[in-house]
Amino acid sequence: MQKDQDILEAVLAEFQEIAKIPRKSGHEEKISQYLFDVIKAMGLKVEQDKKFNIIAEKPATAGFENMPVTILQGHMDMVCVAAEGVNFDPLKDSIQVRRNAQYLYAEGTSLGADDGIGVAEILYILKAEFAHGPLRAIITVDEEQGMSGSIALDPKYLAAKYLINCDSENYDVVTVSSAGSVNIDFLRRPVWRDPLYKAAYQITVKGLLGGHSGEAINCGRANAIQTLALTLQKMQGMGIDFELADFTGGMARNAIPAKASAVILIKPDNTKKMEQLLQDFKIDFQHIYGNVEKTLKIDLTIIDQPKDVLSKEDQDNLIRLLCVLHTGVYSMSQSIPNLVEASANLGIVETKQNAINVQFFPRSAIDSKVSEFKQLAQVISELTGFHLTFGSQSPGWAEKSESKLVPLMTSVFEEQNKQPMKVEIIHAGLECGWFFQKNPDLDMVSIGVTAIGIHSPEEKIELATVAPQVKLIMETLTRLKNV
């Protein structure tokens, strides 16, 4: 096996090429073709299905032909988030990868190591020469947005005994179970009218931490969309009449929004009252979130009068919806300490000429709890006059009590790293839920390099964890022969 530094450089070289290709969820054609061409050039059998998922086969080495198939799995899409003021087109622009002695990160945007680094590791392992049984690489599309790649994957590709998912965020943790989820969309066809007031302002809530709505949901972070909605609701309660021309916020359904903005029109004599209310709201906010959210900003900017505003009914119902939708932890596990059992994220709101769209994303380790969220959403939609649509409900992944892969991997990790490997159940959703539904006999784990700030411009990975991760996978694949 290569030295750690050589492994690191080889994996990063693979990642650099991946990062050059825009791969926002739902737009994976180019990255899929790139992966197809790279794997084909290795001389391996490779397929590209109708969804652009990639499936590759690497034959067993001599003496390992009778071993069962092991799947290495990751996803090719990424959450595209840019820092405030950064000009970034996720459909056209490459990720500007940077590196220092400790971390790999991006210049002004999310890095896409979730799950680009997992895919890079898989490519490295497909090229590497070491003892192993038959391997199958499955690289899916659209994991971040709707898991449509794993949903559509033909079950025949999951005919295997073991599966190693390379999409977790701590190199010393092996995940053995994950939460299910469902995409919920609230849609309303707006009625627009001429504005009555002339004083137009944009109110922007920004400077919040944001982050992954599964991994960071229990960190006490504020949701910019709901913070802004509560601000507008408080204005209504204080008798500051306004007209709403726009409400926009969030970057991804499964990312806690760090920024939201609204365009309003008010009577000029209400300006000072509004300014004072915003100052008071910031003080109240700090009392609630001050230990976590230390850089909140609420900007008030004078703008030109928009040509139209929402009807009073549309405006009031939108604000009601954004205020009452639960966002954050909903319940904690009754059996596992400190594990979030159910949560929800208010991820995106868009106000367009022909539609107001609100994207809501509940998760739970208990499938029936996700179904309960759907029932609650139905009630809320009826109360606010929004049309409701549900995506496919992603199933949870239950722990396999008789796993052979978990004890082997933890043993190899401890031998290689001189420290124990933690076995965990996570609240975030993984594609393993769909794989489990299609093949409940799969012995699965999820692992990954140590990543920080995924789904945010602060995303970075610890370089020192890359080579140990690769060595763990390769040695585990070799030792499966004796399990």
Give the β-pairing of 70-75 and 162-165: parallel
Note whether 127 and 42 are within 8 A (CB): yes
**Residue whose pair of structure tokens reads 């469902």 in the numeric block:** 182
- SS3 breakdown of the chain: % helix, strand, coil, rounded to 5? 35, 30, 40
- Beta-bridge mates of residue 362: 344
Q: What is the rounded CA–CA span in Å between residue 91 and residue 25?
A: 10
> Among residues 114, 115, 121, 143, which one is catalytic?
143
Q: What is the rounded CA–CA span in Å between residue 441 and residue 156?
A: 13
Whole-angstrom CA distances from 90 to 109, 352, 360, 452 are 10, 20, 22, 21
Listed in sequence order, the residues at least 6 apart from 246 whose beta carbon sits closer than 8 Å to its beta carbon are 261, 262, 263, 306, 351
> Among residues 77, 144, 169, 459, which one is catalytic?
77
Q: Take residue 205 and report the two structure tokens written for it.
A: 């809530």
Burial class (CB in 10 A: 0-12, 13-18, 19+), 412: buried
Could you confirm whether 77 is annotated as catalytic?
yes
Q: What is the rounded CA–CA span in Å between residue 197 and residue 200?
A: 8
What residues act catalytically? 77, 143
